[in-house]
Amino acid sequence: MLSTPGFRSLIASKIFQTRLFAIGVDEVHLLSSWGLDFRPAYQQIGYIRKRFRDDVVMFGLSATLQKGKQMETVCKFLGFQVGRFKFIRCSNARPDIHLIFRTLRTTLASEDFPDLAWILTEPGKCIIFASGIHLGFKLLIYLWNLQPENPVHRRCIRMYNSLNSVEFNRQTFELLDGNSGAHVVIATDKLSVGVDIQDIRTIMILDPKTLDDLWQKAGRVGRDRSMVKDPKVVVYIPRTSMERQQPVPKNNAKKTDGNKSDSIDKGLQAVINAACHVSEIDAQYDNQASYPPCSPACSTCASRPPLSPPPSCTCSGCVPERQAMSSVQPKAPR
């Protein structure tokens, strides 16, 4: 939008310049996760500030911005200099989520995913986040073929991505948001931000690369506590990637092949290896045990106070599970 002729004409307007008092950048964590890769134009967002008066405020918002490198990258792209901006961090803790890490025993190049078949018998709505459209399509075909005689599968299992038509994505979203529509939606990052469907019960995440990406997607689950009592997030790490995360004795350390496509950021690696995944997420985001209300007049803080952690954590680090195998089996081809 910032590079369109219409926007350039808008910011050249003296009336617009006079009335503007603030510039807001939502989901600023994407400047780090996308701006360094397939959306390099994001790196130019901070320069828009130079086009306006000195008293125009710029601010950024995100629920998932790790301290350290990610924070530094965002500040660099927005032109925020240390000591010259105000930083407010609130907790993004979700102690209500049952967080499970599992190893994906088939490769992403496969066309069969038996580890994931259990999702067809899972109650409630589910979003599966695939790392690409091609992987999502293979998973769609696999799930369809598990019960090919089921006439409702093609309505209840759908894809949501940028290759679909706007109308198809709109219909999928409405089915997922309704009470009797899509049961499983296989999506790309397109459905991971700005989505506030209240009653998603299960989120499945395949092959995440960053903790910000994982926790942003996990945040789609159970957004209305009164509608979803047991939200669950299941994260599948490919076997080869999981093996790379295992601690290696220094005397046995080997050089990695440097393949960035298989790399996992340090924050996510720490969460995978932690004895308690939830506690490590809190450490990565500097979540505190409690926060005061943002304002005495804030109705959100009054009506939805932060959740208290349960007496004992149920994440797969604290309570290891035997990897679930589904009772749903593919039908033999005729």
Q: Is residue 206's pLDDT more than 60?
A: yes
Taking only the tens place, the pLDDT of each residue in 45-69 is 888 888 888 899 999 999 998 888 8
pLDDT(254) > 70: no
Q: Evaluate whether residue 240 is within a structural domain.
A: yes
What confidence tier does 262 reach under pLDDT thresholds 50, 70, 90?
A: low
Q: Indicate whether 131 and 50 sit together in one domain.
A: no
Return the pLDDT at 325: 45
Q: Does position 302 have pLDDT exceeding 50, yes or no?
A: yes
Which H, E and C letters describe the chain, residue by residue? CCCCHHHHHHHCCHHHHHHCCEEEECCCHHHHHCCCCCCHHHHHHHHHHHHCCCCCEEEECCCCCCCCHHHHHHHHHHCCCCCCCCCCCCCCCCCCCEEEEEEECCCCCCCCCHHHHHHHHCCCEEEEECCCHHHHHHHHHHHHHHCCCCCCHHHHEEEECCCCCHHHHHHHHHHHHCCCCCCEEEECHHHCCCCCCCCEEEEEEECCCCHHHHHHHHCCCCCCCCCCCCCEEEEEEEHHHHHHHCCCCHHHCCCCCCCHHHCCCHHHHHHHHCCCHHHHHHHHCCCCCCCCCCCCCCHHHHHCCCCCCCCCCCCCCCCCCCCCCCCCCCCCCC
Vertex 119 angle, CA 324 and 167, to 5°: 155
The alpha carbon torsion through 213, 111, 39, 7 (nearest 10 deg) reads: -100
**CA separation for the pair 87, 99 (Å, rounded):** 29
Q: Are 232 and 221 in contact (CB under 8 A)?
A: yes
Domains in the chain, number: 2
Q: What is the DSSP pairing of strand 184-187 with strand 125-129?
A: parallel
57 and 193 in a single domain? The answer is no
pLDDT tens digits along 32-48: 877 677 677 777 788 88
Sheet of strand 200-206: strand arrangement: 98-104, 232-238, 200-206, 125-129, 184-187, 157-160
Q: Is residue 292 part of a domain?
A: no
**Which residues does 260 contact at the CB level (< 8 Å), separation at least 6?**
none
Q: Of 144-153, 223-232, 268-277, which gets the smallest average pLDDT?
A: 144-153
Residues 50 and 118 grouped into a single domain: no
Asked if residue 315 belongs to a domain, the reply is no
Is 329 within the bounds of a domain?
no
Q: Residue 332: what pLDDT? A: 45
Residue 206: domain span = 98-247+263-286
Question: Is the same domain home to 69 and 177?
Answer: no
Same domain, 152 and 36: no
Do residues 194 and 46 share a domain?
Answer: no
Gap between the Cα atoms of 255 and 128, Å rounded? 33
Nearest CA-CA partner of 285 in 62, 106, 100: 62
Check whether residue 152 and residue 67 sit in a common domain: no
Q: What is the pLDDT of residues 76-129, one digit of tens each?
A: 888 888 888 988 888 899 999 999 999 999 999 999 999 999 998 898 999 999
Asked whether residue 12 is assigned to any structural domain, the reply reads no
- Residue 245: pLDDT band (50, 70, 90) is low
Let me know whether 107 and 225 are in one domain.
Answer: yes
pLDDT top residue among 291 and 208? 208
Asked if 51 contacts 9 with a C-beta cutoff of 8 angstroms, the reply is: no
Q: Does 74 lie in the same domain as 114?
A: no
Q: What mean pLDDT comes out for the span 210-232?
A: 92
Give a yes or no: residue 43 inside a domain: yes
Q: How far is CA 250 from CA 116, 216, 266, 272, in A?
A: 35, 34, 18, 20
- Measure the N-to-C terminal CA separation of the chain; round to a whole number of Å: 51
